Structure 1
Amino acid sequence: MKILHINAGLENGGGLSHIVNLLKEAKQEKQDFTLLTLSEGPVAKAAREAGIRTYTLGTSSRYDLSILKKLKAFINDGGYEIVHTHGARANLFLSLIHKKIAAKWCITVHSDPYLDFEGRGWKGKMFTKLNLRALKKADCIFAVTKRFANLLIKKVGLNPEKVHVIYNGIFFHGASDVPAKYEHMYFNIINVARAEKVKGQDLLLRALKELDDPHIRLHIAGDGSQLEALKSLARQLEISPQITFHGFMSQKQLKNLYRRMNLAVLTSYSESFPLVLLEASDNLVPILSTEVGDIEKMIPDSDHGFIAKNGDISSIAQQLRAAIAMPQNQLEEMAQREKAYVSENFSLERQLASILQVYRSLN
């Protein structure tokens, strides 16, 4: 099968990792996958560096509809059997030409489509409607959690036969490929997430204040619209000396930072199936998350990690206390158990096999 994946090209973080890693696995398995981005940006750059066959259309703006004719020709002339879009903008463009292409059309829903444009006024409401309309037109939908699948079926009104749950995966490294840990004097916590309201870093800061433990150090890795507000909140709570705001960090930089982390924490209000926690686990860092997405699939019980109630500062603080109180050797054993579990169940090899099975059913 000849498969074309399409993304706007401006993704960073989890979305970028999902697309590039999936295509890397396909390349290793000698599958005929190609990436097309609407614009030059981080996705195309990362894909080319990974040796993935990559093209860009060169749109002049986010919603440059003049390239629709070019997009249609690229798909039809390329003889692609499946077109697979990621992200609302790519979904919108395909929805406008899907009746003029021969290929079947699949969409991966990475996040709650009702929240993607939240807080953007009338434009956000318009783009939400357009994205929901696109989802209804596609031949196949991949939902990265069962919760998203249920939302798409019950709230959006999609045909259940078109919706397939495919959990995210990553490349896991062997023990010899995971760098040794640094010795350090603090209990170091890392939060890898965009600094946006949906990621709930404000909850984490308030939980840290509630703990009132100067032995804790929090490292926030991510840029976003809320970064300055979070710095201001840290000053207001008088915990600034305990927090380092790193801004955006590359995978190489993160891997080095993981070497001195005791715990990886995600306090989001909404998530799909967070790759950042899989990546932390791959680096043998225990994980703590709010009960978002299908997190119980990633953390099946208290032997494998910590789960706090969604949006609940006291619950987050309680789970942090439990992690901090746990002897270091038990935390290390937890990290080993979790990595063994997730590497068995959420590898890219398994993810790609599931996707290919659905592709074949469409032809």
Structure 2
Amino acid sequence: MKILFIKEQRTKSGIEGSAKNVFYRCIELNKRNIPYLVLYNAKDEFYTLMLENNVNVKYVNFPSMSIKSIFKIREVKKRIQDIIEEEKIIHIHVHFPYLLSFLDKKWNIPITIHHHNAFNENKILEFFNIKEILYPKKVLKNLYNKLIGFDFSKADRCIAVSYAAKQTASFKYGMKSDKIDVVYNGITQINENNYKSLKKELGYNDSDILILSVGRVTKAKGVEDFCEVAKYFSNKTNYKFIFVGGYNDINYYNSIIEKYNKYVNFLGLRKDVFNLYKTSDIFLFLTHREACPNVIIEAMNFSLPTIGWDVVGVNELVKNDLNGLICKFGDIKSICDSLEKVINDKKLYDIYSKNSLLEAKKYTIEENTDKILAIFKSLEK
């Protein structure tokens, strides 16, 4: 009698947040001897990580989210149904809305969806916008997204990773608010003493102040904003800016490197990112929107004050003037002033640092798993 998790590959650049959530949860389920199975559609770095850590995962070649996936629905649905019967599945949990199209309510098995998406402004899905009538691809994309919205009705409950994600699930996909539970992401407890500072290894001096950001090199993740802040402080020779993360678009990545390389140390994808948290002094996370960013939780576990935009997701984890500062979106000068304020006020820095560690303890994988299993239990038939 098993729980079935269905997870799709979201990026070919590293391991993204929702994948980490699945991984942490499966490790916790292993500790509790609770049977489960993960279906995953790529043999990538994440798949290898799961195998290496004894996560019960099965590779199934279902399509990633695209209009083309419509033509695979019957085939994938039959494959999943066979697995459900073979494995004696009692609950299905999916990690992206389009995956609901491969499921069937007739199976009489409880279905939940984990909603990881949030927008600063929620808009009702339209079949098409009259302004886009001359762009068939956009019309098809809107139609496909609308169809995904219809599939939300297959879910018995929705688990949103933040209140912002709950609002998006309710407004955008029409999920009734009383069927949505908010369960913040949780991560495995981090013992800071297990990690080492790489300050000297990276060529920095003891007096240097390291400002770190972690995420994909995209505009939406705030890489340009981060670089502009670094450029603003180019005269502060002891302020060192580090950006860690991969990229989706090599041309965009190269343009960012060419423009900002003298202000920012781009380290690319790193498997030792926890050592980099240990190395750093401040976490500067300027993403434009998130649902519940794991990287903030990770940074808090290393007692790092966080500075970011006042946008969805971020403003639920960073409590302004408690464990960091949040600024009006787009106001680079305000970010720079906030950064200097935290750096120059040792007492304030220590308060934010202490509170960050206290806040981090609210987001454990143990509590996250307890809440999710309780939701599954409530749906047993």
Pair in the same fold by TM > 0.5: yes
Contact 1:44 1:55 survives alignment (8 Å): no
Q: Is this contact kept in 2: 1:203–1:312, CA < 8 A?
A: no
- Which of 276, 285, 298 is the equivalent residue of 2:317? 298
1:110 to 101, 111, 116: 116
Please say which of residues 25-34 and 297-306 is displaced more in the overlay. 297-306
Trace 1:218-297 onto structure 2 (pairs within 5 A): 218-225=241-248, 228-229=251-252, 232-233=255-256, 235-236=258-259, 239-250=260-271, 253-297=272-316
Give, in angstroms, the shift of residue 109 of structure 1. 0.8
Q: Which residue identity lines up with residue 171 of structure 1 in the other structure?
A: T
Judged with a 3 Å threshold, the aligned counterparts in structure 2 of structure 1 residues 188 and 180 are, in CA distance, closer, same or farther, namely: closer
Q: How far did residue 35 of structure 1 move?
A: 1.0
Offset at residue 124 of structure 1 (A): 4.3
Structure 1 45/10 Cα, relative in aligned 2: closer, same or farther at 3 Å? farther
1:270 to partner: Cα distance? 0.6
Residue identity matched to 1:194: R
Aligned to 1:174: 191
Question: SS at the partner of 1:81?
Answer: strand
Specify the code of the residue in structure 2 equivalent to 1:282. N
**Which residue of 103, 107, 114 maps to 1:97?**
103
State the SS of the aligned residue for 2:42: coil
Within the candidate set 4, 17, 21, 2:20 is matched to 17
1:334 partnered with 2:357: no
Aligned residues: 351
Relative to structure 1, the CA distance from residue 318 to residue 228 in structure 2 (aligned partners, 3 Å threshold; closer, same or farther) is: farther
CA contact (8 A) 1:268 1:310 kept: no
Q: In terms of mean alpha carbon deviation, does 261-270 or 280-289 score higher?
A: 280-289
Given that 1:40 and 1:58 are in contact with CA atoms closer than 8 Å, whether structure 2 keeps it comes out as: no
Asked if the contact 1:202–1:230 (Cα under 8 Å) also holds between the matched residues in 2, the reply is: no
Normalising by structure 2, report the TM-score. Answer: 0.82
Quick check: 2:4–2:89 contact (8 Å CA) kept in 1? yes
In the alignment, what sits opposite 1:152? Answer: 169
Task: Give the secondary structure class of the aligned counterpart of 1:198.
Answer: coil
Superposed displacement of residue 287, structure 1: 1.8
Quote the Cα distance in structure 2 between the aligned partners of 1:140 and 1:190: 37
287 and 131 in structure 1: CA distance in 2 versus 1, 3 angstrom threshold: same
2:339 corresponds to which of 294, 307, 320: 320
Between stretches 130-139 and 143-152, larger displacement belongs to 130-139
Corresponding residue for residue 206 of structure 1: 228
Q: Against the structure 1 CA distance between its residues 283 and 107, is the aligned structure 2 distance closer, same or farther, given a 3 Å change threshold?
A: same
Question: SS of the counterpart of 1:170?
Answer: coil
SS in 2 for 1:107: strand
Q: For residue 78 of structure 1, what is the aligned residue in structure 2?
A: 87
Which residue identity lines up with residue 2 of structure 1 in the other structure?
K
- 1: distance between equivalents of 2:2 and 2:308? 38
Q: Is the 8 A contact 1:106 1:138 kept in 2?
A: yes
Q: What CA distance in whole angstroms lies between the structure 2 residues aligned with 1:337 and 1:179?
A: 22
Going from structure 1 to structure 2, the CA distance change for 1:294 and 1:242 (only over 3 Å counts) comes to: closer
1:48 alignment partner in structure 2? 51
Deviation at 1:227, TM superposition (A): 6.1
Aligned residue for 1:272, secondary structure, equals coil
Instruction: Note the C-alpha offset of 1:267.
Output: 0.5
CA contact (8 A) 1:195 1:224 kept: yes
**Identity, % of aligned positions:** 20
What's the offset of the Cα at 1:7?
0.7
The CA RMSD measured in Å over matched residues stands at: 2.7
> Equivalent residue of 2:243, what SS?
strand
SS at match of 2:104: helix
Inter-partner Cα distance in structure 2 for 1:322 and 1:23: 41
| C-alpha distance 159-265 of structure 1, shift in aligned 2 (>3 A) | same
Cα distance change, pair 30–159 in 1 and its aligned pair in 2 (3 A): same
Residue-by-residue CA offset, 1:198-253 (whole Å, 9 max, x unaligned):
212111222333344332221111122456536535654xx532211112222xx2
Q: Which residue does the alignment assign to 1:5?
A: 5
Distance 1:145 1:60, change over 3 A: closer
Q: Secondary structure of the residue that 1:197 maps to in structure 2?
A: coil
User: Which 5+ residue runs of structure 1 have no aligned equivalent?
Assistant: none
Shift of 1:30: 2.0
Please say which of residues 205-214 and 10-19 is displaced more in the overlay: 205-214
2:214 pairs with 1:197: no
Query: Which whole-Å CA distance do the structure 1 matches of 2:265 and 2:245 have between them?
Result: 11
